[in-house]
Amino acid sequence: MNRFYSLNDYFKETFGEKIYKVSLDGGFTCPNRDGTLSYKGCVFCSERGSGDFAGKREKPIYDQIEEQLKLIEKKFPTGKVVAYFQNFTNTYGDKEYLKKVYMEALSHPRVMGIAIATRPDCIDDDVLELLDELNKKYFLWVELGLQTINEQVATFINRQYLLETYKETAKRLSNKNIKFVTHIIVGLPHEKETDPLNTALYAQECGTWGIKIHLLHVLKNTQLEELYKKNEIKFQKKMEYVKKVVKILQNMSYNIVIHRITGDGNKKELIGPEWSANKRDVLNSITKYMKENNIVQGDELQKMGE
């Protein structure tokens, strides 16, 4: 029995087959890194703009797809993939450039759709028009890095946009029937116990199609590393994280697609927490806890009669 509605479940249910994602670097930067809003970026942002396993930025998109497909050739020799524009802010550029890179990905015979990671303050009317145009012809979703609804924590992590901006962008995307996924981080410095759950509930209210839950982990060469050295970061214990994730899952309707429930940092760059390096173990701990306690996604909503 599936205890939550994973992206795999969604793909199988919707397209009747397994579909992989290939991560691409579209050559973008970010207003939070290029000085438009700040030079520092979000405190957790890695050197590669939070896309450490993506294709090589100097290569054309088509070639990056080929290379990424080679990496998964043994386990996935022939199936379809979603081209995931992951690094930095993938709607931060002029419309012609955006269209060019998106279409280059969509021109690959094994690409059945695209996923675009961005910031809610980087979807202006021109970009929305382009996304709308593509969404009518192709399978597409957009990813928004919300991380938290606690505005003080958002300031601390240097997110550089207000919660209201997320809400407005969510509404504009929903009005165009464009699916969006919301990123949440569990274990941020200074967050309150209930912040991760409240953030997920807020995203749900705003119409999110999917949720990506990350655990806070410290990577080398990030601002978090500096904070860690100053003893300003406390690592959460694995079971604390597991319980918070499960609480979120219990409060998400069963039609919200769960894209991720753990982190995926580069192990070579990881400072801590150590347990986060064993992704399989974190996933197993979450499903084991759900099984032992007879929990499934959305069961708390059902108890409330929703």
Q: Is 149 in the site for ligand SF4 (CB under 6 A)?
A: no
Nearer to ligand SF4, 90 or 251 (CB): 90
Q: Could you tell me if 182 and 151 are in contact, meaning their C-beta atoms sit under 8 angstroms apart?
A: no
Question: What counts of helices (H) and strands (E) characterise the chain?
Answer: 11, 9
Of the candidates 23, 64, 86, 89, which one interacts with ligand SF4 according to CB under 6 A? 89
Q: Coil, strand or helix: which one is 90?
A: coil
- Give the residue from 222, 235, 50, 227 showing the smallest Cα distance to 145: 50
Which phi-psi region, left, alpha or beta, contains residue 177 (left: φ > 0; alpha: ψ -120 to 50)?
Answer: left
Of the candidates 84, 85, 88, 180, which one interacts with ligand SF4 according to CB under 6 A? 88
Q: Is 81 in the site for ligand SF4 (CB under 6 A)?
A: no
Of the candidates 23, 50, 91, 169, which one interacts with ligand SF4 according to CB under 6 A? 50
Q: How far is the CB of 118 from ligand SF4 (least distance, A)?
A: 8
Using CA atoms, how far apart are residues 159 and 282, in angstroms rounded to an integer? 27
Of the candidates 10, 11, 26, 41, which one interacts with ligand SF4 according to CB under 6 A? 41
Q: What residues have CB less than 8 Å from 221, skipping those under 6 apart?
A: 46, 47, 269
Size of the site for ligand SF4 (CB under 6 A): 12
Tell me the window of 9-17, 26-34, 226-234, 283-291 that interacts with ligand SF4 (CB under 6 A).
26-34
Binding site for ligand SF4 (CB under 6 A): 30, 32-33, 41-42, 45, 49-50, 88-89, 119, 145
